[in-house]
Structure 1
Amino acid sequence: MTWQIELKDADATVALGAAIAKALQVATTIFLEGTLGAGKTTLTRGIVQGLGHQGQVKSPTYTLVEPYDLGGWQVNHFDLYRLADPEELEFIGIRDYFGDHQVSIIEWPEKGEGMLGTPDLTVFLAYQQHERVAQIRTYTDVGENILNQLRTQFSS
């Protein structure tokens, strides 16, 4: 299932992230794709803050992962842009970041090809004129449930 939404500005991107956070009910893996500056970290900020984080949300470009312990959720924000080889993910214990009550948000997932499983959903972010466009594609029942909630929320 695929759905597309126009995002007028960074606030709209954060609002989409907050809506995704609201729809989370079980462990979820989200891939974020798009060019540099397309809004991947901005969307992540919306998800992380939507789950209750009060501080800054920055891209873990050099550390690869930034974990957030948010009550009942462990949110793991990955930025694989600088990853030279997918095998490097073994050194950080990648398998430990996917389990019950964990949300894994992965920027540049193609850099980890072969080491990452199937996402529940992928968000493709791109610029169209002066606005961002988010195309969301689902791959699992979990992803379809999230997308159905998003469609309902944004259609009203």
Structure 2
Amino acid sequence: MPDSLTRSFANPSAALLERRFDLPDEDATLAFGGRFAQAILQARLKNSSTPNERFPGLQVQLIGDLGAGKTTLVRATLRSLGHAGRVRSPTYTLVEPYSLATETGPLELYHFDLYRFADPAEWADAGFREYFDAGAICLVEWPQRAGGLLGVPDLEFTLEQEGEGRVLTARAFSETGKSCLESC
């Protein structure tokens, strides 16, 4: 796969925190998704306890080859946030919205898959910017296809195959992202 389709647009040296997680099997990926879901809820609680401050939302860019486990991670996160229905890969629909009732209140989560984008202009033309409003969680597979138009994420998860398992390299680029990553 060409490097331009698998590399990040965020500068790794600008990360506030970087952690590596060994995920030897699918169960480990599911467990990480559960911890990540709890970290999201903790970050929301932290912000809601601060006067005049609202949870800013979270943009998470998921980078990895086909079959790296990006959708599996999203599915585990959604399940841990209380979603009981089917979790569809948005490869053809581009975005799947989820309205969740969590212990910290209603939560909007949007799962994007930009794999089918041939040109970054398609991101701008699709009108997805509104989904990134404050308070929403946006999990974006293949963010590189937007050519940097998404901006710097709060978190970047890069999944790479290693033997039978995966390695997840997580980078936080915001204080909210850092708070989540510290809780994973």
Same fold (TM over 0.5): yes
Q: Partner letter of residue 22 of structure 2?
A: E
Q: Partner letter of residue 94 of structure 1?
A: F
**Residue in 1 aligned with 2:81?**
51
Choose from 124, 129, 133 the match for 1:95.
Answer: 129
Computed over aligned residues only, the root mean square deviation of the Cα atoms, in angstroms, reads 1.1
Give distance in 1, aligned partners of 2:111 and 2:121.
18
Q: TM-score, normalised by structure 1?
A: 0.91
Residue 15, structure 1, aligned to residue 31, structure 2: yes
Residue 70, structure 1, aligned to residue 94, structure 2: no
The answer for unaligned runs of 5 or more in structure 1 is: 151-156
Give distance in 2, aligned partners of 1:54 and 1:103.
18
Give distance in 2, aligned partners of 1:93 and 1:22.
30
SS in 1 for 2:32: helix
Give distance in 2, aligned partners of 1:12 and 1:55.
22
Q: Partner letter of residue 19 of structure 2?
A: W
Q: TM-score, normalised by structure 2?
A: 0.78
Choose from 36, 46, 68 the match for 1:38.
Answer: 68
How many aligned residue pairs are there?
Answer: 150
Q: Partner letter of residue 5 of structure 1?
A: F
Give distance in 2, aligned partners of 1:128 and 1:139.
25
Give distance in 2, aligned partners of 1:23 and 1:149.
5
SS in 2 for 1:15: helix
**TM-superposed deviation, 1:78:** 0.4
**Residue in 2 aligned with 1:83?**
117
Residue 133, structure 1, aligned to residue 149, structure 2: no
Residue 4, structure 1, aligned to residue 20, structure 2: yes
Q: Partner letter of residue 14 of structure 1?
A: L
Give distance in 2, aligned partners of 1:47 and 1:73.
13
**TM-superposed deviation, 1:96:** 0.8
Q: Partner letter of residue 77 of structure 1?
A: H
Segment of structure 1 superposing worse, 106-115 or 89-98: 89-98
The answer for unaligned runs of 5 or more in structure 2 is: 1-16, 45-54
Q: Percent of aligned pairs with the same residue?
A: 43
Q: Deviations over 1:44-90 (max 9, x none)?
A: 00111121100121210011101111121111000001111222223
SS in 1 for 2:168: strand
